[in-house]
Amino acid sequence: MCQSLDADSLDPDRPHRRLVAHLLRAPAQLIWVHALPGSGAGRLMRAFAGGQAVGTVWPSAGPVDLPDAHPPLRVGEATGILRARPEQIADLDLLRRDGRVAEIGNRDLFLRVEQDPHFEQSGGWPALSRHFAAAPGDEAGAVALLRDLLAPLPGPVRAVLGRLARAQAGLEDAGQGVAARAVLAWLDPLAEPRGGRWMVRTATLRRLLAAALAGRPDAPAEGGGAAETVLAALAIGGPGAALAQLRAEGGLFFLHLHGPEAAERVLAGLGGGDRPDPDLVGLAFLAAAKAGHVERAAHLLAEAGPPGLIDLSRPLSGPPVAPQLGFCRIMLAIYRSDTVRQHILSEASALLGAVAPDQLLLRGGIYNAVLELQIRAGAHREAVEMAARALAHYEQAGAPYLSFYIHVHRAVIVLRDGRPGEAAPHLDRAAAALAELRFDVPQDRRFLELLRAVADYETGDPGPMARFAERRARDFAFGEIWPSIAAMALAYGAEALMQLRGLEAATGYLERWRVQAWRTRRFQILIEQREVALLQGAGRWREARLRLEGMAMRIGRLWMDSSGENLADLRALEDLRQATIWMRQQVYERPRDPALMPRLAALRDNPTLSARDRLCLDIWAGFAARRTGALAAARSTIAEMLETSERRRHWAPALEERGFLMPLIEDRRLGGAAAWRVRVPEAVRRGAVPAAPSGGFSGQEWRCLLLLAEGCPNKEIARQLRVSLPTVKFHLRNLYARLGVGGRQAAVAEARRLGHLPG
């Protein structure tokens, strides 16, 4: 095709003979034209087409001039002449590497000084040269023309050109980033390198450009951002140059260095390509997960990786995957709240071995991911070590946003360890890290607000947590949320509302979490378990047991009855949580069971159990000891629990177990409230749900009243209390007499009026 070109067919007003000679000698299969508007590229393409319409389908019989809106195409083995933006040629990097493309740019099309009589005004820009030939001295018209010519250019290119035009002394080459330097090189000869600086070709053209670009609303901001440097590299050098710039700006952690909006612009500009780059896939994965779209993130990972990459149930087999994709696989295990599997931890260890020491962000990310897994497994000592390593990498890399997550995790660890007073320094450091950011992260500010409310709750003040659950949790629950933090928002929000607003408010809060599609089966189990705990706390023990028996879990009543020392060996958090809820139920229903105390001791010895759960177990053990007549054991157990709570300022377990604790505190046979060395905070003594029998009821009468409130007939009450029907009738007669009523419905109504039952 090129061999048939006739130089005389070109515009005789523009001496393109040198260019034509270059094209005739080009051995490349593709001649690619990419130059500034008004440079004569369009006239050149029309001349190539012999005056015919230019095609828009590749390959074609003639030159192809792609419209700006045309999607990327793959040249493959096709030959011809193509005018397109770099990002519109999908395999441009491959063509360049193989020497199969000849590039025609501004240097080939701009006029030299001896070719342009208006060179000082036009700088050799063909369109400007024609303008001044037709209207000598018309600078206002030239500025208007320049505005039209510059309008189609990508924003990053306009931004670099604007900085160049405003700099009378030019731009120092050493001070330019990779992308800006690539833009300047493409603009050559409009921008010329002179003595280590980039200058506009002529002083008059610089002044005209500055006037044309003045007042643009995007001009000040476009040049400085990381997204703009990546997009500028794309506009000038194509996808390969853009991906190289993306890696220089953080790779898959671009979002965490430059913000979600910048990441969105980069992803929109780069797209996926035929063979997506691992850093680009990783960035898209993390951006989707951060927006709360975990399954979208999984889909992106599955599309980019080998079969089985998102199958977390088995080890990854086959050839090694790119470290970025391996990291995303571990992150998927976290976002899906999957059971902590040993092969995932092994893969993380192997990944650390494959990542070079100077890849600080990726190595820090792997440590951060393992940190979350270890928190979920209750391995807090190991988690603290992982946190220190991750933080060292992030600080060395200058990544405050990523450091923020480490401080948050350290706060989670001390809260789970029952040391809420130690959370504040970690949360303050997390807040300081957020203050360093130049972009907005509202979800992470909510993280901080949540954890401060959790710390207040753990010290015995449920107010901030209840307010968070009522006002902020709806927005919080639909963004990015790590499972360990989601579990805290769920549990603490429900318990705080239970303490201050009652059961209805707490269960309504849980329902708002249940409807979210991305939550996993494991998270749904967490919701069910929290619902049972709320029913127990509200004194609706029969309903709680029915819900427990209906849950499809391996830990059930029969398992608990035969568990013995096996309770010390449970490791899965959902199993441990289920066993703890069953234990609470059995303490209430069968406190005199001889097997109960050994079970409590075995569960307390479980190394995965949190410090706050151990305080709850101590309260239950004291309650069971009192019901079996072991007064000394009950007194010493509760006294030690109270002293530990005061020393650590950790009153949340006492608050949640007030139904067991307050009868012991006020028990005269244990010395009464005045006998305890530690004063129980007022928040533990009061709440929306009655904590203990009042009005002079016996223990059995109180249980009868609670069962009446649940609507149980006499036979069901007898079954629940494990007594005969005449015994039930005896307790009910005494109950009616104490309340001054004559029947069941009247008893419940009067108990509510007197405050013995929640209204």
| Mean pLDDT of the region 664-668 | 87
**121: confidence class by pLDDT, cuts 50, 70, 90:** very high
**106: confidence class by pLDDT, cuts 50, 70, 90:** very high
Judge whether 183 and 236 are in contact, CB under 8 Å: yes
| Mean pLDDT of the region 606-617 | 93
Judge whether 208 and 164 are in contact, CB under 8 Å: no
Sequence letter at residue 653: P
**204: confidence class by pLDDT, cuts 50, 70, 90:** very high
* 53-67, 107-121, 249-263, 599-613: least confident range: 53-67
Judge whether 283 and 256 are in contact, CB under 8 Å: no
The residue extents of the domains of the chain are 2-109, 113-231, 528-685, 699-753
Sign of CA dihedral 635, 636, 638, 639: positive
Q: How many CB atoms lie within 10 A of CB 433?
A: 22
Q: Which of 103, 130, 113 is nearest to 19 (CA)?
A: 103
What pLDDT, on the 0 to 100 scale, is given for residue 496? 95
The SS3 of residue 70 is coil
pLDDT at 96 over 80: yes
What pLDDT, on the 0 to 100 scale, is given for residue 318? 83
What pLDDT, on the 0 to 100 scale, is given for residue 12? 39
Task: Supply the mean pLDDT for the chain.
Answer: 86
CA distance 465 to 367: 30
Secondary structure element (H or E) that encloses residue 507, with its range? helix 503-514
CA distance 622 to 629: 11
pLDDT (tens digit per residue) in 226-278 = 888 888 888 888 888 889 889 989 999 999 999 999 999 999 888 755 558 99
The SS3 of residue 754 is coil
Residue with structure tokens 């989707």? Answer: 288
**Between residues 506 and 683, the one the model is more confident about:** 506
pLDDT (tens digit per residue) in 139-166 = 999 999 999 999 988 888 888 898 899 8
What pLDDT, on the 0 to 100 scale, is given for residue 1? 36
pLDDT (tens digit per residue) in 526-580 = 899 999 999 999 889 999 999 999 998 999 999 999 998 899 999 888 899 999 9
Sign of CA dihedral 379, 380, 381, 387: positive
What pLDDT, on the 0 to 100 scale, is given for residue 759? 56
pLDDT at 20 over 70: no
Classify residue 454 by its DSSP letter. H
The SS3 of residue 60 is coil
pLDDT at 173 over 50: yes
Percent above pLDDT 70 for the chain: 89
Distance from the Cα of residue 130 to its chain's centroid: 55
Q: How buried is residue 727: exposed, middle or buried, by Cβ count under 10 Å (0-12/13-18/19+)?
A: middle
Q: How many CB atoms lie within 10 A of CB 315?
A: 13
CA distance 219 to 197: 21
What pLDDT, on the 0 to 100 scale, is given for residue 433? 96
What pLDDT, on the 0 to 100 scale, is given for residue 48? 63
The predicted model scores a pTM of 0.75
Biggest alpha carbon distance in the chain? 119
Sign of CA dihedral 670, 671, 676, 679: positive
Residues in the chain: 759
Strand partners, 191: 200
Judge whether 325 and 319 are in contact, CB under 8 Å: no
| Mean pLDDT of the region 179-200 | 91
3-state secondary structure string across 157-169: HHHHHHHHHHCCC
Sign of CA dihedral 735, 740, 741, 742: positive
What pLDDT, on the 0 to 100 scale, is given for residue 689? 64
* CATH number of the domain located at residue range(s) 699-753 in this protein: 1.10.10.10
Residue with structure tokens 């509510």? Answer: 752
What pLDDT, on the 0 to 100 scale, is given for residue 226? 84
CA distance 697 to 665: 16
| Mean pLDDT of the region 614-627 | 95
Strand partners, 73: 89
Sequence letter at residue 723: V
Sign of CA dihedral 315, 316, 322, 327: negative
What pLDDT, on the 0 to 100 scale, is given for residue 15? 45
Secondary structure element (H or E) that encloses residue 498, with its range? helix 483-500
Asked if residue 59 has a cis previous peptide bond (ω within 30° of 0), the answer is: yes
**Between residues 626 and 2, the one the model is more confident about:** 626
